[in-house]
Structure 1
Amino acid sequence: MKKILLILLLLFLIPLSACGKAKYEFKDGVIYENGKEATGTFELTINGFKSKGKFINGLADGILEVYYLDGSIMKKSLFSNGVHLKDEVYYRNGKLMSTYLKDKRIDIFYDDGQLLMRSDKEKGEITIYFENGNPLLVIVGTTTSILYNENKEVLSRMENGIRLDDDITFKNLEDGSFELIKNNKVIGKISADGTPTYFYSTGETLMKLDNSIYKTLFKNGNTFFERDGNISRFYYKDGKLLYESKGKEWSFYNREGEKIITAFEEITDIKKID
């Protein structure tokens, strides 16, 4: 009789235990616990990487950290009542990869800490930089663009689709192409079909159009930046992809070619720790 009672008791407790386990899910920016907005500190997996952060009434609040597999910091994000205010993304060596300030600025850095690109939303200006810190390309709104060489000398200036290159002369070559000459030095070339190419001060190709794809190059010949319609890409100096954007979609890649940060994050394995 005692054995029967014990078995019945165990059978009764098993479903109670199962029912007592909380079910967590993440939907539309909100963490739910058994269908209700959750509050607490949570561990979760974001795009395959362990993360930790605080949520209040289901919304992220405070610092959300994402970690590389070795436990080092990959990303710190600041939230207030679910509003995304700030990002800091790090290379594995601890240096900044990018920063984001809501409605103000986005910066991307080389892995040696040098600023690569700044998008200043308040000024409506995008600047891409050489490795030495000088501007390579400045785009203001949708009307103005200025291309520089590594010595900060202007190679091309466009406003409202009109070239403003009064100090540049054109030398006609036998094959129908033109050399662009400024201060008695060849700074670029326009092919017979009208395709422009610009050079570093030391003669290497800096910018060219390749099958309608705009490209700027490192001195070693590897692509640094390219734009094809609404698709933009930045590359590491060895030619590996660093950053890619396609409209509202964007992604960062580490040195190993892994996609580490994206605009659309996959969140799984949610666990409440406090």
Structure 2
Amino acid sequence: MVNTPQMLLHRITSGKTADLALLRADSPAGRAACAILTLRAEKQHAESLFDTALGALAGARPFVIINANGDILRLDDRTVPLLGLSGTAEEHVCRPLASLPGQAGSIGSLAERALREKHAVYEEVSGLPGHSSGTCLLVTAEPLMTPSGSMLGACIFLTDLTEQRELEREAVARKVHTAEMTTQSLRAAQQVSDASEHLAERIQSANAGATQQQERTTETATAMEQMNATVMEVARSAGEAAELASTTREHSSRGAERMQHLEHSIAGGAQSFPT
């Protein structure tokens, strides 16, 4: 049996790599066989990479794996409800990710960008179908390439940030509330300060009035003391005058008695002499 280059090439591509020695390396068939073996090695590497990725993703975040054309190769069961899809994960395999409804299609467009730019891209996605308006996902699309740089596809990771964003919103709300309470407290403190200043002014005015009243009271007390002294002086003078009047009366009485006695003596003397 004659081994034609076509037959040898067929056997080599079927896995009989030992037949490669029967072909000339510089012949068209030899070059084709080498290229086919290189592609097969890259395919095996890609399959190994794919299996390794699946093993690593088994307990990690929800994920989607697409090929270089954007078709879904593997879809994690947790990813289906996150994307707002219905049915099972197997039902969406081989479908173009970008053709899925709602934000799932946007995630597919993000994955296509990672394939086109050949580097990982990140984006937060919210408003997913079947979820509340507060639902938020962090989408990370990482391209998968062979050692030679050929694009195999991309792996899209989904991280649910809903709870984290809700906590952040609550923290912001608490900060806003604290700021409002602080502003109100400062306003109330300012009002208390203004009232205190007004009260201090009134107290100062009352103290000034009290001081003036005290001065007037002191002046009145001094005047009363002076008046009392004058009254006492007048009383003392009146007492002395009364005492002097009493003495004068006594002297007058004595003088009258003496005059009367003198008159009697004169009268008695006159009777003693003859007329």
What TM-score bracket applies, with the shorter chain setting the length?
under 0.3
From the two aligned structures, give the one with the greater helix fraction: 2
Larger of the two Rg values belongs to structure: 2
> When the two structures are superposed, what TM-score results if normalisation uses the length of structure 2?
0.21
- Write 1 or 2 for the structure with the bigger share of strand: 1
